[in-house]
């Protein structure tokens, strides 16, 4: 029986970014240096496959520092942590390694710099996301006000409309964030923004590739985890850019084949914390059912690399 023809558009860039790559490497190097177990506060990156793989090597994932013993190293996730967390680790004389993505750390530094200049901060982000909690936790309670939508801007209660600055979560939708920034500037004309956009290069690049790919596709799959902010944004961007069916899947086993019945083209991309092995698994699943022709949709090339902390580069 002949397989139906399918054009498979593969987004580039896709998958791992430099911050995720560095965070995973930090856990692997910590296990090599100190042996198992090494504790990790929160999922190192939002991907079950990656977390399970590190757990098999001897990493223990916890949600709070209080769950860690004093005598084993602890690693803080790529999303960043409030200042209170390293302070508590130091008070307990713990060995800790901060795997916060350098681009998230840049936002933390920015927020502190504005606060030192006497400005109150507004953060554009998702309530409850670990990155938002970490960034807001750089400053005392009440110094950072959270907005999630343009409508929230009308209700935000500031100390002084002329003494404000804003920062953003690094994994947001570029277009949605632009709408919120426009609302902030309309209400608070004196508000100060970042020197360079806070949304990271990887998030922006993956969204641009999806925008280029979406109009060509009958359907689109984003390989990523349900708790991955940047992966969920890719689904939204794909739908908004004209793809009739955009869905998030963690593994090939989650593909809803009935919804894809009759398609002649599919777009595939992956969030910044999804490994290439899972992307290939999804591609292989299509190759077993279809006569696949693959086309790469490339909108940018990435060659960013971040060094791991010095403590891991010196022998134990």
Q: Which residues on neighbouring strands pair with residue 223, listed in sequence order?
A: 249, 270
**77-113 confidence digits (pLDDT tens):** 999 999 999 999 999 999 999 999 999 999 999 999 9
What average pLDDT does the structure give for the chain? 96
Q: What is the pLDDT of residue 311?
A: 93
**296-305 confidence digits (pLDDT tens):** 999 999 999 9
Query: Quick check: 253 pLDDT over 80?
Result: yes
From CA 122, how far away is CA 281, in angstroms rounded? Answer: 41
From CA 206, how far away is CA 14, in angstroms rounded? Answer: 6
Q: pTM of the prediction?
A: 0.94
Active site residue 254: no
Query: Quick check: 205 pLDDT over 90?
Result: yes
**Total residues found in the chain within this entry:** 316
CA 72 to each of CA 28, 30, 54, 96: distance values in angstroms, whole numbers, following the listed order = 15, 11, 16, 9
What's the pLDDT band for 308 if we cut at 50, 70, 90? very high
Q: What is the pLDDT of residue 54?
A: 98
Report, as an integer, the average pLDDT of 262-288: 97
Q: Which of 63, 64, 131, 143 is catalytic?
A: 131
What's the pLDDT band for 72 if we cut at 50, 70, 90? very high
Long-range pairs for 202-205 at CB < 8 Å and ≥24 separation? Answer: 202/13, 202/17, 202/18, 202/19, 202/230, 202/272, 202/302, 202/304, 203/170, 203/171, 203/172, 203/174, 203/230, 203/233, 203/272, 204/174, 205/13, 205/299, 205/300, 205/302
Report, as an integer, the average pLDDT of 211-225: 97
């Amino acid at each position: 029986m002949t397989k139906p023809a399918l054009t498979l558009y593969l987004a580039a860039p896709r998958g791992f970014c430099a911050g995720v790559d560095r965070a995973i490497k930090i856990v692997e190097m910590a296990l090599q240096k100190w042996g198992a177990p090494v504790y990790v506060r929160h999922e190192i990156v939002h991907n079950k496959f990656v977390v399970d793989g590190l757990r098999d090597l001897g990493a223990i994932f916890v949600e709070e520092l209080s769950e860690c013993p004093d005598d084993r190293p602890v690693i803080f996730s790529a999303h960043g942590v409030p200042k209170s967390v390293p302070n508590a680790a130091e008070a307990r004389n713990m060995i800790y390694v901060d795997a916060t993505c350098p681009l998230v750390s840049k936002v933390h530094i920015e927020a502190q710099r504005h606060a030192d200049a006497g400005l109150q901060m507004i953060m554009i982000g998702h309530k409850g996301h670990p990155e938002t909690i970490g960034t807001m936790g750089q400053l005392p309670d009440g110094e950072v006000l959270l907005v999630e939508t343009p409508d929230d801007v009308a209700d935000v209660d500031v100390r002084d409309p002329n003494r404000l600055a804003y920062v953003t979560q690094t994994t947001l939708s570029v277009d949605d964030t632009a709408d919120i920034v426009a609302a902030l500037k309309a209400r608070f004309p004196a508000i100060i923004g970042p020197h360079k956009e806070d949304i990271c290069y990887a998030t922006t690049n993956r969204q641009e590739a999806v925008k280029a790919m979406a109009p060509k596709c009958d359907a689109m799959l984003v390989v990523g985890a349900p708790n991955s902010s940047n992966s969920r944004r890719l689904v939204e961007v794909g739908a908004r850019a004209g793809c009739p069916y955009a869905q998030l899947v963690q593994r090939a086993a989650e593909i809803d084949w009935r919804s894809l019945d009759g398609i002649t083209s599919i777009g595939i991309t992956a969030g910044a914390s999804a490994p290439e092995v899972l992307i290939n698994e999804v591609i292989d699943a299509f190759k077993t059912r279809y006569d696949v022709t693959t086309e790469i949709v490339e909108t940018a090339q990435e060659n960013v690399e971040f060094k791991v902390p010095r403590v891991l580069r010196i022998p134990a």
